Structure 1
Amino acid sequence: MEPFTATFTTPDGALLTYEIAGKEHLQKAPERKPFIFVCGMSNRRCDFDTLVPVIARTRPGESTILIILLTYDHRGIGDSKLPKGNNAISIEIMAKDLMHLISHLGWKQVVVCGFSMGGVITQQLVLLPYHPISPQPLPFKITHVVLAGTLCSPSIFLDESGQWNGKVGLKFPKLEDTSAGKGRPLTDDEKKELVRPTVEQGFDKVWLGDQRNKERLAYIMDRMIVKRPTRTIVAQSLAMLRFKLPSYSSTSLLPPPPIGPEVLIIHGRGDGITPWACAEELLRRIPHSRIVKEDEIDHLDYGHNWHEYFDSERWVGVLDGFIGEPLMQAKL
């Protein structure tokens, strides 16, 4: 069955386009908590195309995995729009977008999986009630959080003056390089060559060197040049350099269960965008979290785009185990 697609207008006028896979199960299995994918920088909702259909195929009684999945485009990218006359983009704004969208859908309990920038947005969402200036209570409960290829502080990206150090993080073509060349618009092939380094940065050398992935990489390249405005991506990148998450307490960034969600970290040692040190920091700052272990998948030497590695059924098993397991202490 095709995903249900709709739009939602936020209080400040942004138009969010979203899809729900498995919507037909909402009435059949109301006890199931919807699973929400939160995109990373430059991502669109279609970028989870290998994983979403596999999870959505799961039926009640087969496992604890969620069968109702929400994916959406952040404001200003894909099929979503910025408010008229307002180009502001920040982690807090995008977290409130998600809060308003979940509230609009009327869901009372959810599981949220945030990838890369989406992981920062997810943490900000959990922490909205603890905002030091304008706390915002959530009209729903987040029971589980998956933080994939993400971080909790931009410090690893910054030099001593607070500017991007250029050593880590997602690297994009310069804005002037993506504009018309020699008085004409760039061709699709020229656009793809410009974004190729950015796309390839999401994978490790082993994945890129495997001829079996050649067709998949070409497909991702084709998709990368569609409905991803450069100015929005630049605004997202600036948001990632400027965010500062409030902390729940002096001992934990996020509130532990039963107040807050259980937390699973997915992070590859071959991640060239958010290094392994980011996962270590998450584990230190969220003591009740745990990280996916080698015996749950094949190995930990995967790149940033974790969902493109291994068989998708393997990731479903990881998520299924996390959602159904008792709380575990974080260990590397």
Structure 2
Amino acid sequence: MPTAQLSNGIHLAYDDHVGRGGHDDPDIDPAVPLVLVHGHPFDRSLWHPQVAALAGTHRVITFDLRGYGDSAAPSTPPVTDFGDFARDLEALLDHLGVARCALGGVSMGGQIAMDAYARFPERIAGLLLADTSPAVDTEAGKAFRRETAERLLAEGMKGYADEVLHKMAAAYNPEAAAHVLRMMLAAPPQGAAAALRARADRPDYSQVLPKVTVPSLVVVGRDDTYTPVADAEAMHAAIPDSRLTVIERAAHLPNLERPEEFNAAVRDWLARLT
């Protein structure tokens, strides 16, 4: 498990999957690595089905966000601004020598991807937005995130995880739900709470979407109640060069719940980038 000390002083754990032959493998497209950003409160293992399916033909980079997974080092301060996540991502790209990438994220990870596009669009060759939303929270939503942050610090992750599990992964996808529960229970409360507070104050990305000039893919689970199909349709309508994939029998994490359908859509999107 590589861990990078980035130019901004932050330590991030990551995996750089480059196929059996390494960076010189002739079967790997080296031009546009695929970088995947997990959501809250997960870790990079969220992307295991995509790594397994895509790393034979593409360089795939996954990492733990600051405060999550193996990036929750005591020496690494938690985020205080939502933009910290995108700044960490840019520093990781610098560390790995990646000039340009295909960038994807799910849920909060999708919002980080939008934030990254707003900050350094020249480094993004394609955008994948899964089960996410560009809009800011309502005042009630902001208050709920802050209250949840305090609850996680006081009680830990279990009560919260038990309450939201059925929304993250539908009950008819038990293997995915078990994976999701493991990630949530392993999430450090301090990192998760810091992310919730920062996310409550994130900017509105609605004005970013019409400016996206790269091939984009919007994906949503048919049964997602956090970011429903209507939200995905609105994002698809706002992004000039985008395609929409609605995945049946999936809730908030279709990449885990229905990986074959999700991976097929991602492969089609990656083919458009070449």
**Identical aligned residues as a percent:** 23
More strand by share: 2
Could you list the per-position Cα deviations for residues 119-151 of structure 1 after superposition, in whole angstroms to 9, with x for gaps in the alignment? 11111111114xxxxxxxx7x631111100111
Which aligned pairs between 1:135-214 and structure 2 lie closer than 5 A? 141-155=123-137, 158-159=138-139, 163-164=142-143, 174-175=151-152, 178=155, 192=158, 194-204=160-170, 208=171, 210=172, 213-214=173-174
- Is the counterpart of residue 113 in structure 1 residue 113 in structure 2? no
Per the TM alignment, residue 203 of structure 1 is displaced from its structure 2 partner at its CA by 2.4
Q: Which amino acid aligns with 1:199?
A: L
Which residue is 1:11 aligned to?
A: 7
Structure 1 residues 172 and 268: alpha-carbon distance in aligned structure 2, compared to 1, 3 A threshold = farther
CA apart distance, 1:232: 1.5
The offset of 1:97, in angstroms, is 0.5
Cα gap change, 1:85 to 1:48, in 2 (>3 Å): closer
Deviations 1:55-85 (A, max 9, x none): 22x34xxxxxxx2111100111111146848
Q: 1:95 aligns with which of 86, 98, 109?
A: 86
TM-score, normalised to structure 1, is 0.71
Deviations 1:240-294 (A, max 9, x none): 2211146777xx54331xxxx211100123112223332133224323322115x
CA distance in 2, matches of 1:88, 1:151: 20
* Unaligned runs of at least 5 residues, structure 1: 60-66, 130-137, 180-190, 294-298, 328-332
The match for 2:198 is 239
Q: C-alpha displacement at 1:93, in angstroms?
A: 0.8
Contact 1:173 1:195 (8 Å CA) reproduced: no
Partner amino acid, structure 2, of 1:218: A
Q: 1:20 aligns with which of 7, 16, 20?
A: 16
1:78 pairs with 2:72 = no
Distance 2:232 2:176 in 1: 27
> Which residue number in structure 1 is paired with residue 60 of structure 2?
69
- Normalized per residue, the structure richer in helix is 2
Aligned to 2:51: 52
In the alignment, is the contact (CA less than 8 A) between 2:169 and 2:176 conserved in 1? no
Matched residues in 2 for 1:102 and 1:176: separation?
31
Gaps of 5+ in 2: none
Aligned to 2:188: 229
Distance 1:176 1:74 in 2: 18
Instruction: Report deviation, 1:88.
Output: 3.2
Larger Rg: 1
CA RMSD of superposed structures (Å): 3.0
**In structure 2, the residue corresponding to 1:34 is in which secondary structure?**
strand
Distance in 1 (alpha carbons) for counterparts of 2:273 and 2:88: 31
Is contact 2:142–2:201 with CA below 8 Å preserved after alignment?
Answer: no
The DSSP-based 3-state class of the residue aligned with 1:273 is coil
Q: Does the CA contact (< 8 Å) of 2:79 and 2:85 recur in 1?
A: no
- What TM-score, normalized by structure 2, do the two folds share? 0.84
Quote how far apart the aligned CAs of 1:33 are. Answer: 1.8
- 1:7/1:17 contact within 8 Å kept: yes
* 1:266 partner letter: V
Q: Does the C-alpha gap of structure 1 residues 215 and 39 become closer, same or farther in structure 2, counting only changes over 3 Å?
A: closer
Q: Which amino acid aligns with 1:126?
A: Y
Structure 1 distance, partners of 2:77, 2:89, is 18
In structure 2, relative to structure 1, the CA distance for the partners of 1:152 and 1:25 (3 Å cut) is: same
Contact preservation (8 Å) 1:13, 1:84: no
Q: What per-residue deviation string (whole Å, max 9, x for no partner) do you get for residues 83-113 of structure 1?
A: 8484333321100100110111112231111
User: For the residues of structure 1 that align with 2:244 and 2:217, how far apart are their CA atoms?
Assistant: 6
